[in-house]
Amino acid sequence: MSNNTPSPRTGHFVAPLEDTPLVAIDAVKVDEKPSNLWIDAWRDARRRPIFWISGLLIVLIIVVALVPSLFATVNPFTEKCQLSLSNGDPTAGHPLGFTKQGCDVYSRIIFGTSTSVSVGFIVIVLTTVLGLLFGAFAGFYGGWIDAALSRVGDIFFSIPYILAAVVIMSVLSQYRSIWTISLAIGLFAWPSTARVLRAEILRVKQSDYITASEALGVSKIKILLRHVLPNSIAPVIAITTISLAAAIVAEATLSFLGVGLGGSIMSWGNDINQAQRDIRVHPQTLIWPSLALSITVFSFILMGEVVRDALDPKARALR
């Protein structure tokens, strides 16, 4: 066939416009609610009954710790114990009975809540600050900074913080207080937070937006504070919630062993320590503070589990 011969035209069929209305497949839905990690986590968490149950318990515990007089008419700080009521049964106004010293069990549990919760929050603030400093600088800067900070973390991680707190509280036996026991626990409990944050930062700093920020000449400290930390903090929040429960248990353990808070400071650990001698003849004085401790720790652990699952896209996808 000659090259000058025109090729036959291919016919094109065009459907009527009314049969194929124009639809922007990839158009952004303006009325759609914006979404990010935190919004998705909230939407996921609020659908779970465990979130509301643990949240209500935590709110109740915090209110009791802040305003114990709303829940107990007897103030154990002003009203002295009566030996005539030693190991007494529950009576009107004293629903949980009395201790061996004749103290009201219910009021001691209510007013002791503030001590245990305060220790937990102080420890968490301390461990979070130290964990953020060590984990952020080690993971982001790398090199000799990472090597030095990681080795310091390994040294502290190799020492059980309960054992370290026992030694510190034994040495500082004359200065036992909420701040002393919080420092004794928190100074050795931060490495786990630092490790989690360091691992997350190592993942995040490989992202394209971090490379783009470096190409634009943004300083490293600004990149760390504006981009890396906000996108790496989610696992730290989850582990912090669970660590708060561990801190409350640590305080009770030290007080139970007799090296925690002094006997003059009201706490669940002190009450459990004093009640263990009468467990056979009057177990109620041991059961009630132990139950209060268990409910508090269980509430924070449940909240930590919910937060961890809600902030994990893979866990949300599996449900």
**Averaging pLDDT over each range in 24-38, 50-64, 250-264, which range is the top one?**
50-64
pLDDT at 130 over 70: yes
User: b/e per residue, 4-22, with b = 16+ CB within 10 A?
Assistant: eeeeeeeeeeeeeeeeeee
Mean pLDDT, range 115-133, rounded to an integer: 91
pLDDT, tens digit, 9 for 90 and up, residues 138-156: 988 888 998 999 999 999 8
Structural domains of the chain ordered from first start: 50-318 (1.10.3720.10)
High-pLDDT (> 90) share of the chain, %: 18
pLDDT, tens digit, 9 for 90 and up, residues 21-51: 555 444 555 555 656 677 877 888 888 899 9
Q: Output the pLDDT for position 25.
A: 47
Token pair for residue 130?
């130290």
pLDDT, tens digit, 9 for 90 and up, residues 79-89: 777 877 777 88
Cα atoms found within 13 Å of the Cα of residue 265, Cβ hemisphere only: 24
Task: State how far the alpha carbon of 253 is from the alpha carbons of 31, 71, 82, 177, 297, in Å.
Answer: 54, 26, 28, 15, 13
Q: Output the pLDDT for position 314.
A: 63
Name which residue leads in pLDDT, 315 or 148.
148
pLDDT, tens digit, 9 for 90 and up, residues 188-207: 889 989 999 999 898 888 88
Q: Which residue has the tokens 């470096």?
A: 214
CB atoms under 10 Å from CB of 313, counted, come to 12
The alpha-carbon radius of gyration of the chain (Å, integer) is 29
Q: For the CA atoms of 193, 194, 197, 202, what is the dihedral angle to 10 degrees? A: -150
**How far, in Å, CA of 293 to CA of 274, rounded?**
15
pLDDT at 304 over 90: no
- Residues 195 and 280: beta-carbon distance below 8 Å: no
Encoded amino acid at 126, one letter:
L
Name which residue leads in pLDDT, 14 or 25.
14
| pTM recorded for the entire structure | 0.80
- Residues 153 and 119: beta-carbon distance below 8 Å: no
User: b/e per residue, 58-93, with b = 16+ CB within 10 A?
Assistant: beebeebbeebeeebebebeeeebeeebebbeeeee
**pLDDT category, 170, cuts 50, 70, 90?**
confident
pLDDT at 278 over 50: yes
**pLDDT category, 75, cuts 50, 70, 90?**
confident
Mean pLDDT, range 56-61, rounded to an integer: 94
pLDDT at 128 over 70: yes
DSSP string, 264-319: TS--HHHHHHHHGGGTTT-THHHHHHHHHHHHHHHHHHHHHHHHHHHT-HHHHHH-
Token pair for residue 121?
């929050």
Query: What are the residues facing 104 on neighbouring strands?
Result: 98
Three-state DSSP state, 98:
strand
Encoded amino acid at 59, one letter:
V
Token pair for residue 79?
């009203």
Mean pLDDT, range 84-109, rounded to an integer: 83
Q: Which residues contact 290 (CB under 8 A, 6 or more apart)?
A: 268, 272
